[in-house]
Amino acid sequence: MIIANFSVDSIEWQHIGANGIIPAYDPNDPKKPHIINFEDSRANHILNKFAVRGLVVMNFGDDEEAKKAESLKLWKRFWERQIENHNQHNEQQKEAGNRYSRPTDELDAHAKLLGLDLLRPWRVEAKNTKETEELRGENMALKKSMETLQAQMAEMMKMMISGGQAVNVQSQSTQPETSEPVKVKDISDDEVKKRGIIEANNNKYRRLGESNLNLWLSKNWEDVMVMPEENKLELEEKYLKLYGVPFPTSRI
């Protein structure tokens, strides 16, 4: 059986202890080494494995140009499918929050040869260093303010639970200290409700890390946009700490 390879790739085959190469098509080689006569069982083995990459059977009287067109069609379809599979896999990787899977050198070369695009690594572009440092400083200040506020809120909640007993409260006021206890005003129902919402939101992203925060943000972007400012500030700080870049301004 005669097998021909009119593609631009050489085919390396193995069969029952033997191996060889069917060279790529070279129109300037009069010896036509890309056309080889094999024993039938070996030819069938090679075709079963490599026909999809451009190998065709040549019979006496066949139009060589027609066989060439058939071979190139198979070769092109094969590599288009490989590139499509690579891109689909990386789309799934991106949606799952996993790392980018790099193409082989062979796949990259064929994508360029066919003029097709391979999905490239995804990244969030960082702003310039000065802006990043300024934002990091602002976030640190916000973090300290949040810690102070949370401590005060915890103390107030503690007093509410104990029946609103009078305690001494630290104040930044310029008024002189007094030994008289200060009564803490009751917290409104709306404020209690807001704190509950903030805490519930915090539980949603508290345990997220570098491997899954981006995916969670992509799936819950609309919910994040309507969260209280306290939650947004926490998320901005968490994102900057994990990825070293500012929080995205739109869905990832």
CB of 103 within 8 A of CB of 111? yes
4 with 72: CB under 8 angstroms? no
The mean of the pLDDT values for the chain is 82
Residue 52 pLDDT level (bands cut at 50, 70, 90): very high
Whether the Cβ atoms of residue 246 and residue 135 lie closer than 8 Å to each other: yes
Give the other-Cβ count within 10 Å of 142's Cβ: 16
| C-alpha atoms less than 13 angstroms from C-alpha of 74 in its C-beta half-sphere | 19
CA distances to 102, 108, 179, 185 from 119, rounded to whole Å, are: 9, 11, 69, 59
Dihedral of CA atoms 107, 110, 115, 117 in degrees, nearest 10, equals 0
Residue 144 clears pLDDT 90, i.e. is over it: no
The three state secondary structure string of 73-136 is HHHHHHHHHHHHHHHHHHHHHHHCCCCCCCCCHHHHHHHHHHCCCCCCCCCCCCCCHHHHHHHH
| CA–CA distance, 237 with 69 (Å, rounded to integer) | 59
| C-alpha dihedral sign at 219, 224, 230, 235 | positive
Q: What is the pairing mode between strands 18-22 and 11-15?
A: antiparallel
d(C-alpha 13, C-alpha 42), whole Å? 10
Per-residue pLDDT, 187: 60
Domain residue limits, the chain: 2-114, 129-243
Task: Give me the mean pLDDT over the 49-67 stretch.
Answer: 94
Q: Which residue has the tokens 């799936």?
A: 219
Phi, psi (5° rounding) for residue 207?
-95, 0
The residues near 14 (Cβ < 8 Å, ≥ 6 apart) are none
pLDDT tens digits, 12-49: 999 999 999 999 999 999 999 999 999 999 999 999 99
Q: Are 201 and 169 in contact (CB under 8 A)?
A: no
- pLDDT score, position 178: 47
Tell me: the pLDDT tens digits for 86-119? 999 989 988 888 888 888 999 999 999 999 988 8
Average pLDDT (233-247) is 85
